[in-house]
Amino acid sequence: MTANSRRSDTEPPGLETQRREVETLLRGGELRSGDSWYVVERHWFEQWKQFVEHGDQNSSSFPGRIDNSELFEDLDSFHMKERLVENEDFLLLPAEAWNKLLSWYGLVEGHPPLERKVVDLPSTLKVEVYPVEIFLCLHSNMENVTTAQFSRTDNIQSIQKLICRLFSVPPGSECRLWMKSSDSSCERLRNIYVSVLDACLSSGMTVIMETRNADGTWPSSRPQIMRNSVEDQDSYRGQPGVCGLTNLGNTCFMNSALQCLSNTPPLTEYFLLSSYLEELNFSNPLGMKGEIAEAYADVIKQMWSGRHYSVVPRVFKTKVGHFASQFLGYQQHDSQELLSFLLDGLHEDLNRVKNKEYIELRDAEGRPDQEVAEEAWRNHRRRNDSVIVDTFHGLFKSTLVCPECHKVSVTFDPFCYLSVPLPVSKERVMEVFFVSLDPYAKPVQHRVVVPKAGKVSDLCSALSEMTSIPATQMVVADVFNHRFYKIYNADESLSCILDRDDIFVYELSVHEEEQQEEQQQQEEQQQEEEQEEQQQQEEQQEQQQEEQQEEQQDEEQQQEEEQEEQQEEQQEEQQGQVLLALYLRERSHYRDYGSGSSSYGTSLFGHPLLLNVQRNSCSREKLYQLFLQRLARYVRPPDPSEELEEEEEEDDEEEELYKTQTNGISEDEDDAERASQSDDTTEPGPAPPQPSLDHGDEAAANNGTATRSEPPGNTDPTDSNHGNPAAPGNPAAPGDGANSTDQSEPAAERDTTEEEKEEDKQEEACSPSPPANEQPAKRRACHRKKKCLFTIAAVTSNGTTERGGGEGGSAVSFNSQSFVAIDWDPEMKKRFYNENEAEKYVKHSSMEVPQQQSSVQLQECIQLFTTVETLEEENPWYCPVCKKHQLATKKLDLWSLPEVLIIHLKRFSYTKFTREKLDSIVDFPLRPGLLRLPAEEESDQWGASKPL
């Protein structure tokens, strides 16, 4: 365990202080080159926020130690998963905030802290979450490969020095470096002073070093020259344009956009004919000094030369990252974002307008649409005139209507592409595991269809139709890392449940009050039927109407009184219900002295359970039997032939410990008197198996003047034989003639035999001398007792033992929601707990039905784009008549279309909690003229391209 994984000995401050200190550090955290930031798993951090805002030490949101397990591919190498998204999978914390959380909560044992450095990239500072991971080797032995990580700001010389050190290259050796891509193509790294970023090195690439031979030659002129290099131009002749683009590392988004634009004839011809050279705009402050246009032209010319199988767009990628910092590095990005940036950059670099004039926009003010549209297009061309405008720009017609004065505002706005929405389904498919009340039934995985904006109760109702279990007997919970991350209420929204969450639905038992409610409903129905019969009799027997009414009133009063009594009883019983959350823990072989106690360390395993129990059934003895029944499918009870007995010394220790936990009250004299009633020839029978009362044993009251404390695990306070000397297994012999304990005690003292005294002397010789009144109790403790499979402990919602909880008290604290754990000794778990059986589940027939992917027409998406909508409160429209902002209605129409229409499908639907990707199939026409666009006057407005 590292120092970073252990919590400090100092007590953490209050929850409000923790929240305020961390929030202050997060708000004031500024990126400075070279500073350290730390990666924290979002799930844990959100749970910590919930804990400090609404919780206490025993609340369900206690986060426990910092756990980054979900960020690792495996817990052996601790290699971070690829393509993790900031603020969705992880958060970045400044070093000060991390150190505070680490000192308060500690880090999961064995986990390394995920420290990352702030690097100074072109035009931005950024925390380098994913350093570049490169393979290093020598040309003389390319099978001996070493992996190393480098910052993107490191230069190539640092890689060279590391290779020399790792492979013991003699000092002063002349060497040169090659970088090898995933497609086995190689390039020479000529300038060793450029950065890793500028050299376009990405994770997964290999850097090969070769040293000059003694005769002045190189071992290889080049390990493998790239196919599109100048030296190999004559080696391939293919069809122009049929050319691939090498993936530089998660650059498929860029390559797809380049391939689309490459196959746009007007734009490609423009660059192949070098027409762009005359229109490069180096003075446009909104442009990029022509660099983007030149880099794009270079890629297009290579792709259409017919001399390359594939092209490596490294220079283009570097230029894009230089002018748009969001595309730096090699993480996944949206292809539409890259395409939008590229079209805008090409337009500004090739804009024929050198000096843009100011133009004041005018409203339609009742003028014909044709006139207003022509004016808007002329104004647009006066400021924007390029090959991009000629090819991709069109006009929207925007109509706004004020909801109060009904003022109509019509404007015409240029566009470069359409971002059309997809019809969103109002239903959602969820996969859940149903845990039946039958202990021998395996969990069943179901696939249910629920309303997307529904509640947890809708999920229960849908599952009820499949299982025939009433929805009122179900509880939904999110299980994470062997514990309950959240137990949902019926009225909570389903939107807070993510598709990747492991959702379990537990069937709860029916209690007496529910049966009473059903009986009450049946009684009410019978009463209504009786009242109807009485009314019919009243109509037939009018003379006896008054007497019948009086009798009926008396019966109604009695019924009301009975109903009130039943309601009171129901309320009392409801107060006695406990929803019990059960965790499974395994004790380690060592004691956790580092936590400040001498208790054994524990770790959670298996799937937790939810049970509905009555408060009067929460004694440890009853819970032990209940848990055994509930786990019967994968917990094997011991055979009678198997010996599960505890040693007598352990019994003595537990007895002494128990005495100290009952405030010093001991009735061992009573034990001695009871023991002396035994006949000399009668051997005491073995005690029945009972749970070992770990962490808090219950003192059983015997309705006497003094409280009697039994040794742990020997007697069930609820047993009908408790306190009966003649009961089986009691030291008192049958037929002794003693009817009560009080009457037999004096006689027992007087009738102590010489043999018993001799046994006491021998007992004293074998053990330290206790007080005389403890000798009989000690002798009884020497008898072996049955050992339990597990012990029960009250825990927090996080599965940790409560501070000071369970010491001398009941098994659980009587709250509406309580958490307990059953602790297994490793040896007992190995013998009686079947892990394979516990993990088994079955699939419902709903899982076998393939999910039908919904399909929509592209025309439907465009129609949805042109429907009337009301503006949101965050983006109101200022009405010139009302002189205030209004939530006006807005409608967009396509007035004129460009020669090439770019349609972007908005596949992400955002809610307050989630970002959902819509996987609907969109059918679109492959030939011109098959797409029918919505229009008020189709003959006037629509065509392949309407010149203005």
Amino acid, res. 664? G
Backbone angles phi, psi at 219, to 5 degrees: -55, -35
Q: How far apart are CA 504 and CA 608, in angstroms?
A: 10
Please check the confidence at residue 549 and state whether its pLDDT lies above 50.
yes
pLDDT at 122: 63
- 633 is written with which tokens? 């499918």
pLDDT at 730: 39
Listed in order, strand segments (DSSP E) in 102-239 are 115-121, 124-127, 132-138, 141-150, 175-180, 186-189, 206-211
Segment 375-379 mean pLDDT: 92
Q: Residue 498: exposed, middle, or buried by beta-carbon count in 10 A (0-12, 13-18, 19+)? A: exposed
Neighbours of 376 (CB within 10 A): 23
**N residues, the chain:** 948
SS3 annotation, 379-438: HHHHHCCCHHHHHHCEEEEEEEECCCCCCEEEEEEEECCEEEECCCCCEEEEEEEEECCC
- 146 is written with which tokens? 């070493």
Average pLDDT over the chain, rounded to whole?
Answer: 76
> 231-243, pLDDT tens digit by residue?
344 456 788 999 9
How distant, in Å, are the alpha carbons of 505, 588, 859, 894, 913 from that of 602?
26, 6, 60, 66, 34
Give the range among 1-10, 519-528, 822-831, 919-928 with minimum mean pLDDT. 1-10
> 827-868, pLDDT tens digit by residue?
999 999 999 999 999 999 988 877 766 788 888 888 888 899
Residues 6+ away with beta carbon under 8 Å from 796: 57, 58, 59, 62, 802, 819
Do the strands 790-794 and 817-824 form a parallel or antiparallel pair, or are they unpaired? antiparallel
Neighbours of 267 (CB within 10 A): 22
Amino acid, res. 178? W
Q: How far apart are CA 507 and CA 438, in angstroms?
A: 9
Q: What confidence category does residue 346 fall into, taking pLDDT thresholds of 50, 70 and 90?
A: very high
pLDDT at 815: 55
Give the range among 114-123, 166-175, 761-770 with minimum mean pLDDT. 761-770
Please check the confidence at residue 412 and state whether its pLDDT lies above 80.
yes
Please check the confidence at residue 300 and state whether its pLDDT lies above 60.
yes
Q: Which of 661, 749, 666 is nearest to 708 (CA)?
A: 666
Residue 654 in 3-state DSSP?
helix
Q: How far apart are CA 75 and CA 236, in angstroms?
A: 48
Longest dimension (CA), the chain: 136
Q: What confidence category does residue 228 fall into, taking pLDDT thresholds of 50, 70 and 90?
A: very low
- 730 is written with which tokens? 């009691």
pLDDT at 658: 38
Please check the confidence at residue 745 and state whether its pLDDT lies above 90.
no
Please check the confidence at residue 222 and state whether its pLDDT lies above 90.
no
Strand partners, 91: 40
Which one has a higher pLDDT value, 558 or 671? 558
Residue 5 in 3-state DSSP?
helix
Please check the confidence at residue 705 and state whether its pLDDT lies above 80.
no
pLDDT at 929: 61
pLDDT at 612: 86
Question: Tokens 């190498």 appear where?
Answer: 77
DSSP 362: -
pLDDT at 737: 38
pLDDT at 797: 85
Q: For the chain, what percent of residues have pLDDT higher than 90? A: 31
Which one has a higher pLDDT value, 728 or 501? 501
How distant, in Å, are the alpha carbons of 438, 583, 840, 841 from that of 441?
5, 19, 10, 9
> 87-136, pLDDT tens digit by residue?
888 999 999 999 999 999 999 988 999 988 888 876 678 888 888 889 99
Q: How far apart are CA 406 and CA 474, in angstroms?
A: 52
pLDDT at 176: 87
> 573-611, pLDDT tens digit by residue?
545 678 889 999 998 865 544 444 445 678 899 999 998
pLDDT at 380: 93
Which one has a higher pLDDT value, 464 or 872? 464
Q: What confidence category does residue 915 fall into, taking pLDDT thresholds of 50, 70 and 90?
A: low
Residue 490 in 3-state DSSP?
coil
Q: Which of 809, 479, 779, 440 is nearest to 620 (CA)?
A: 809
Please check the confidence at residue 267 and state whether its pLDDT lies above 90.
yes
Please check the confidence at residue 358 and state whether its pLDDT lies above 90.
no
Give start and end residues of each alpha helix (H) in 616-769: 620-630, 648-660, 668-676, 741-750, 754-766
Give start and end residues of each alpha helix (H) in 500-544: 512-540
Give the range among 90-94, 248-252, 404-408, 781-785 with minimum mean pLDDT. 781-785
Q: What confidence category does residue 81 fall into, taking pLDDT thresholds of 50, 70 and 90?
A: confident
CB 670 within 8 A of CB 708: yes
- CA torsion through residues 800, 806, 811, 815, sign: negative
Strand partners, 577: 614
> 273-292, pLDDT tens digit by residue?
999 989 999 888 889 888 89
Q: How far apart are CA 790 and CA 800, in angstroms?
A: 17
